[in-house]
Each structure stands twice: as C-alpha cells, then as structure tokens.
A = this chain, B = another copy of it.
Amino acid sequence: MELYTALVHYPVYDKNRRLVATAVTNIDVHDIARASATFGVKGYFLVTPVAQQRELVGELLDHWTDGPGARYNPRRQAAIARARVVPDLAAAATQIRAETGHDPITIGTGANVKDRMVSFHQMRKLLEEREGSALLIFGTGWGLEESFLDAFDYVLAPIEGPVEYNHLSVRSAAAIIMDRLRGLRDPEEN
C-alpha cells in the first residue's frame, strides 16, 4: 500500500485530560517529515483546525521548499516537500483519494491503547500485501481523544521497551512506528 502520515493537533488531550488544540511545532514538522522521507511515505499531513496555525505552517513549509531554506539545505527540502497542511483528516483523505484512487485505511496510534490492538507485525504484512493506501495517524499533546481514535480502521499496539516507562515524544514514537512498519530488516531476522 501507499503509506501516508498525519500529525493531529486536535482533538487531543492536555496533561489534565482536557480536550485541546495544540500548537504546531517546528521540530515536529522537520523530524517527522525526515522520518517520513526515510521510510518512503508519500505525504505527511499536519492537521489543525486553527486557520492561523495553518497559515504559519504554510509559511514554514514555503521557506524550506521554495525559500532560503531550500538553498541552505536541499536534503531538508526533499523531506519537507512531502508535508502539507490540512484542517482535518477528511481533507487528507480527499487528497489521498485524488492521488491514489483509493480511500485510505486509517491506522491510529497511542501510548495507552489497550483494546482492539493490531500488532506491528500484522500491520507490516497488511501494508506489504494489500493494494490501496493507508494513513498512519499520530497525536500531539497527551494523545488522541478516545472516541476519535476508536473510529479508525485499525489501532496499533503501544510501543514497549523492557521497562514500565513509555512516555516517548511524538517525534520518537513516529520514527519508531515507521521503522517497525517499513524499515529494512537484517536478513537474519527474516
């Protein structure tokens, strides 16, 4: 399948579990665009309903794709070129349908997922074997709102290490998830 990523800034929780729209951060744009480029992701959607935020991000993207940033660092340009700003996931799905001819399957992620989990191994196989397109969705703040997450076609199991602690930044989590789904594996692992 063609893979797309989305970073959602609403609806997500804050640290007191209130619903908020988080601000888009520079570093999330860059780090996740670079990981998306590395793992062959076709488009990376920055999702925020706040019009002013979309304008600001649009200016940031222009700086790196057409402006001084593009000349300063062409590698960065190549990564940022796949980033786009949209108000919601429906708008992302519309673009994906236009590009691939398929409605994407939606894959949610979260550190606290407990039900209805699909393993990374299963999802990796599904992405390899099926036709169509898939949208992999990451949440900012303290994670994607529950009913929003529940509405996705699949929800990935949380990333776990050998200990209890699992409070990764969304940048780290997104990188690990893309690697688990699309990274080249050592021959002796297969």
Contacts and interface: CB of A to CB of B under 8 A. Distances in A.
Interface of A: 15, 27, 30-31, 34-35, 37-40, 73, 75-76, 78-79, 119-122, 157, 159-163, 165-169, 171-176, 178-180, 182-184, 186, 188-189
B188 A119 contact: yes
A86 to B, nearest CB: 23
Contacts of A175: 168, 171-173, 175-176
Contacts of A171: 31, 169, 171-172, 175
Nearest to A111: B38
A59 B168 CA distance: 23
B176 A183 contact: yes
Nearest to A160: B184
Given A38-B168, A79-B167, A175-B176, A161 B188 contact: no
A69 B62 CA distance: 35
Given A34-B168, A188-B121, A179 B182 contact: no
Nearest to A3: B162
Nearest to A180: B179
B165 A38 contact: yes
A154 B142 CA distance: 37
A164 to B, nearest CB: 9
Contacts of A15: 73
Contacts of A79: 165, 167
Contacts of A35: 168-169, 172
